[in-house]
Amino acid sequence: MKVFISADMEGTAGVTDWDQVMPDRHDYQRFRRLMTEEVNAAILGALEAGAKEIVVNDSHNTMRNILIEELHPQAQLVSGSPKPHSMMQGIDASFDVVFFTGYHGAAGTQNAILDHTYSSATVRQLKLGNLVVGEAGLNAALAGYFKVPVALVTGDSTAVAQAKKLLPHVEGVAVKEPIGRVAARSYQPVEARRRIKEGASRALKRARDLKPLTLPRPVALEIEWMHTAMADRCMLIPGVTRVGPRAIGYRARDVEQAFTLAMACLVLARSTL
């Protein structure tokens, strides 16, 4: 079994604030270690259940958070940014399953720690067809394009519940209970890791019964931005249409094209800040 892990940071046990997850902030060094250890817990669980090869993609912010010297030696690490497939860089049809660790709720989700979709400063809502998706949804759809199912999601309880709505058979491990956007009741890291390791083992054992998230083609992508200037900027891309004062649309031939178009729009939207 070959496992791809997309590792985000906001859904790590104990994280409630940007001060803990942004590289220039005072608590970051502590929490990047805790993030690394949660990824290790998922790796250990996967290895126990028979995984032979594990690739971890660092998926948070600069994508240079995981401490490689503390990562389990049987895993390989993809790090740095930008990367064409961003939080999913490295995914292809050779993998059996995907794990999402440290994930958070989509932009606009109530009671979800640091809810956002790829960029808290720019994205208000992202849709694939009729589905409003957060990072878990968009990334699961890209995995589905490669016919790989998502087997495990870890993060706060709201993020896990949100992922399960779209991926009903995914194994979910909630490491904390949000109290609004920037407060939570959390498991202590050692206990959180115990739960993640067990969840990863269970997830891998059930992997053969899981179905990838596949969307019909073509795929209608729609992004509503925080400001009109962001939508203005995206109109530079041929084929992009204006579907609202703050919203753009694109008819993509498949999920992979919708994904890369969304990444290009994010760069343009951020250029207005």
Report the catalytic residues: 116
Report 228-257 residues binding Zn ion (CB under 5 A): none
- Only segment of 52-60, 90-98, 193-201, 203-211 that touches Zn ion (CB under 5 A): 52-60
Q: Which residue, 131, 154, 151, is CA-closest to 255?
A: 131
| Cβ-based nearer residue to Zn ion, 139 or 157 | 139
C-beta nearest to Zn ion: residue: 60
CB-neighbour burial class of residue 215 (10 A; exposed 0-12, middle 13-18, buried 19+):
middle
CB-neighbour burial class of residue 167 (10 A; exposed 0-12, middle 13-18, buried 19+):
buried
Please give the C-alpha separations between residue 254 and each of 85, 142, 250, in angstroms, as whole numbers: 14, 9, 11
Phi/psi for 56 (5° steps) reads -105, 130
- Only segment of 33-41, 54-62, 84-92, 181-189 that touches Zn ion (CB under 5 A): 54-62
Residue 115 three-state SS? coil
32 touches Zn ion (CB under 5 A): no
- Only segment of 3-11, 90-98, 171-179, 200-208 that touches Zn ion (CB under 5 A): 3-11
Strand segments (E) across the chain: 2-7, 53-58, 75-78, 97-103, 123-128, 131-132, 150-156, 171-178, 184-186, 219-225, 241-244, 247-252
Q: How many residues interact with Zn ion (rule CB under 5 A)? A: 4
CB of 114 to Zn ion, least distance (A): 8
Q: Which residue, 97, 209, 191, 94, is CA-closest to 153?
A: 97
| Cβ-based nearer residue to Zn ion, 8 or 156 | 8
| Cβ-based nearer residue to Zn ion, 1 or 9 | 9
| Cβ-based nearer residue to Zn ion, 9 or 54 | 9
CB of 250 to Zn ion, least distance (A): 24
Query: Which residue has tokens 């208000």?
Result: 124
Binding residue for Zn ion, selected from 5, 6, 8, 126, defined by CB under 5 A: 8
CB of 35 to Zn ion, least distance (A): 10
Q: Annotate each residue in 56-85 with x if it binds Zn ion (CB under 5 A) or - if it does not, as one string.
A: ----x-------------------------
Helix (H) or strand (E) holding 195: helix 189-205
Give the Cα separation of 244 and 241 in Å (integer).
Answer: 9
Residue 218 three-state SS? coil
| Cβ-based nearer residue to Zn ion, 10 or 37 | 10
| Cβ-based nearer residue to Zn ion, 1 or 226 | 226
- Only segment of 5-13, 142-150, 169-177, 256-264 that touches Zn ion (CB under 5 A): 5-13
CB of 60 to Zn ion, least distance (A): 4
Residues that bind Zn ion (CB under 5 A): 8-10, 60
